Amino acid sequence: MPNETRRDGPTAVHQKILILGGTAEARELAQKLVEDGHAVTTSLAGRTLDPILPAGEIRIGGFGGAEGLATYLRENTFTRIIDATHPFARRISENAIKASAETGVTLEQIVRPRWQKQPGDRWRPVSTLEQAADLLPSGATVFLALGRQYLDAFKPRTDCRFIVRMVDAPDKPLGFFDYAVILGKPASDPSQESDLMTAHGITHLVARNSGGPAGYAKIIAARSLGLPVIMLERD
Ligand code: NAP
């Protein structure tokens, strides 16, 4: 074998790695592992129309449960799987654990630490979306900074107005009594987030405790505006 010198040393074993992605961390990891000479494939669920693509190979779409993922790992002779999915993406993480156990392919998980409450934060922690919906006072104007699969619990609240942020435009009406859609990703600048909240007359923010820098600007913005945040915590 040629004695190549790479960033991870002359004797490094280059591996065939599947990253379960869809996050900024997954993209950073793919970049690093590709630079280190590994054969990297990132898997995306296909939820967004125009995702930012990581370095290396990409595959898009579900595997068909844990069985499908195990088959994919075997057929493509992966030696390592890294779960770098969003902390609230639970099903794919459970499937990765089962598929790893079934195939013997080593699984690593990138666990993003949750945000911690800071002085000035007015958080109301909840463990379900239904609890979050129940906590909203009548007449509230609510910023739902949640994925589209988290909206249904709020639809019975016909006494509130909802401002819903989405990456891609919905293909049908969302089914709220009173709502508006903001298209786009979260801003990284808290002042942009606070301008947006002020412009829409937001009185309450509903967010998940996702952790990480990408969605934190809205939390800082709510703090600076003194807004209550109904925070869906992780298990
Ligand atoms: P989920 O509920 O855990 O997954 C539902 C199903 O989607 C899985 O069973 C799997 O289908 C498929 N899937 C999920 N992630 C996949 C991936 N990386 N590659 C291939 N298939 C995947 O996940 P989710 O909450 O819908 O999130 C979907 C993706 O969006 C994740 O990759 C996550 O990292 C990313 N994301 C999610 C959020 C969020 O708020 N949940 C935020 C940012 C990014 P099969 O069973 O058919 O394999």
- CATH number for 191: 3.40.50.720
Q: What is the pLDDT of residues 181-228, one digit of tens each?
A: 999 999 999 999 999 999 999 999 999 999 999 899 999 999 999 999
Q: Which domain holds residue 84?
A: 16-109
Residues 85 and 159 reside in one and the same domain? no
* Shortest-distance atom of ligand 1 to CA 69: 48
Q: Which residues contact 102 (CB under 8 A, 6 or more apart)?
A: 66, 70
Domain stop point among 109, 141, 157: 109
Instruction: Report yes or no on 8 lying in a domain.
Output: no
Look at residue 168 and tell me whether its pLDDT is greater than 50.
yes
Q: Which of 25, 40, 59, 91 to mutate to test the pocket of ligand 1 (most atoms within 8 A of CB)?
A: 91
Q: Which DSSP state fits 167?
A: S
Look at residue 82 and tell me whether its pLDDT is greater than 70.
yes
Residues 200 and 162 reside in one and the same domain? yes
Q: Which DSSP state fits 51?
A: P
Residues 145 and 214 reside in one and the same domain? yes
Cβ of residue 23 lying under 6 Å from some atom of ligand 1 = yes
Q: Is the pTM of this model over 0.75?
A: yes
Residues 158 and 101 reside in one and the same domain? no
For the four alpha carbons of 36, 37, 38 and 40, in that order, the dihedral sign comes to: positive
Residues 53 and 31 reside in one and the same domain? yes
Look at residue 53 and tell me whether its pLDDT is greater than 70.
yes
Residues 92 and 137 reside in one and the same domain? no
Cα separation of 92 and 151, whole Å?
Answer: 20
Residue 11 has a pLDDT of 52
User: Which residue, 96, 69, 83, is CA-closest to 25?
Assistant: 83
Look at residue 3 and tell me whether its pLDDT is greater than 50.
no
Minimal-distance CA residue to ligand 1 atom 32? 22
Residues 83 and 42 reside in one and the same domain? yes
Q: How many separate domains does the chain show?
A: 2
- Region 84-94 average pLDDT: 96
Residues 91 and 143 reside in one and the same domain? no
Q: Which DSSP state fits 111?
A: P
> Using an 8 Å Cβ cutoff, are 182 and 202 in contact?
no
The pair of three-digit structure tokens given for residue 145, joined into one six-digit string: 């900074």
